[in-house]
Amino acid sequence: MVVGDFPVELDTLVVGAGPGGYVAAIRAAQTGQKVTIVEKGAIGGVCLNVGCIPSKALIEAGHRAEQAQGDDTLGIKTENVSVDFSKVQEWKGSVVNKLTSGVEGLLKGNKVDIVSGEVYFVDKNTVKVMDDKNSQTYTFKNCIIATGSRPIELPAFKYSDRVLDSTGALNLKEIPKKLVVIGGGYVGTELGSAYANFGTEVTILEGLKDILGGFEKQMSALVKKKLKSKGATIVTEAMAQGVEETKDGVKVTYEANGKKETVEADYVLVTVGRKPNTDELGLEQVGIEMEDKGLIKIDEQCRTNVDSIYAIGDIVPGPPLAHKASYEGKIAAEAIAGENAVIDYNAIPAVVFSDPELATVGYSEEEAKEAGYDVKASKFPFAANGRALSLKASEGFMKLVTRKDDGLIIGAQIAGPNASDMISELGLAIEAGMTAEDLALTIHAHPTLGEITMEAAEVAIGTPIHIVK
């Protein structure tokens, strides 16, 4: 490779090696493209290093800690249970390292060149890649931008040792006695639940009328109930106003019900959304069209208004989900290869690893009605499932949303254990154009949580076995 003032010529350049970028690079290489990927941080991006993966590891450790306390109703008694949090963090780090090293191996195995540095666009076919010591110019035929997002920082809550973003909350050296969480969305609820399982006294401040606003109220109500059973306090329609850092903690001021309140804690975690990483790429040099809040406009093949440049993931419209980024990465790579690949978000699931887990795919009942569909909503409770009862996890339900005229499945929601895994069958059903009868006729193993899908389908077609019609 020639360096210095001479530009290096590339076929396909991918900017960012998160779940969107590395998947795009691998798929592009599989189609015969010569691919180079540039990452300024760690391979795997936010998701693998400081997001999806480490948070799920921490959540699992929290579940184990809670279960270790025993359960009198099961006849299980324990004494002197303790948590070595340094070991928890060490294990979490080992999970991350296995995955990130695995991704690097996959990139190299697919003959993708990996370059470290920050990218700045010079024109529609040229970038400069800079690291601490050097600057190198690259020209490309096509480029996929996959730079992801970062946490939004509130002016009154500047990040510090005590005022944390999600990365900081994942890397604490000790279990907090008290934690204030500003924002009751995905991240705030997941991390709040994880620390509550470790015994932390958690207070969640949410500005809207309810936590987990993207989910139906019946679903979020189950999570609120479980959080409160763990000793958490949830304050909705609360506006966080400021924080005072003390020697050993923080004092957070907020307003709720017309009153100014103060809550003290060891730390405050701010989870009020994410900001796309598009502001330092030099996109104005290229004339790429943007939407509100720094998002890049794309077409159905993830192509921007500049023919040679594509964009995927958190920097384009839609929910900031890792699996959405990976899906778009494949579409963009295949479009560059000349394949007839287009995006279809109809069956993209959304999952919260709360307690209980929540998952949704396709339309909710309300969304379907707003879209003009005449629908039927069919629910089956976890309490009527033998496996759920044996897991002592009988709270929750599955709801199928079907068209009345033909039973076509157009949406599904699950609140309960393993919802994150169960939703995939329903995503497949929507993608394949299946009806409730198709699911009802599919034999599901017994006793499993998966039977709930079959049972909900039987409710939809009017032949339920394990609940009274």
Q: Which of 63, 323, 444, 446 is catalytic?
A: 446
Give the SS3 label for residue 159: coil
Binding residue ranges:
56, 147-149, 183-190, 206, 273, 314
φ, ψ dihedrals at 303, nearest 5°: -85, 135
What are the distances in angstroms from CA 148 to CA 84, 184, 264?
A: 33, 22, 33
User: Is residue 242 helix, strand or coil?
Assistant: strand
Please say if 63 is a catalytic residue.
no
Contact criterion met (CB below 8 Å) for 16 and 48? no
Instruction: Tokens 């800690």: give the residue.
Output: 65
> Which pair of tokens denotes residue 329?
């990465």
> Alpha-carbon distance 440 to 456, whole Å?
8
Can you list the alpha helix ranges (DSSP code H) found in 131-257?
Answer: 166-170, 186-197, 217-229
CA distance 185 to 365: 21
Angle between helices 21-30 and 85-109 (to 10 degrees): 30
Q: Is 36 helix (H, G, I), strand (E, B) or coil?
A: strand
Binding-site residue ranges for FAD: 56, 147-149, 314
- Running DSSP on this structure, what letter comes out for residue 382? G
What does the alpha-carbon distance between residue 454 and residue 447 come to, in Å, rounded to a whole number?
12
Contact 132, 117 (CB under 8 A): no
List residues with catalytic annotation: 446
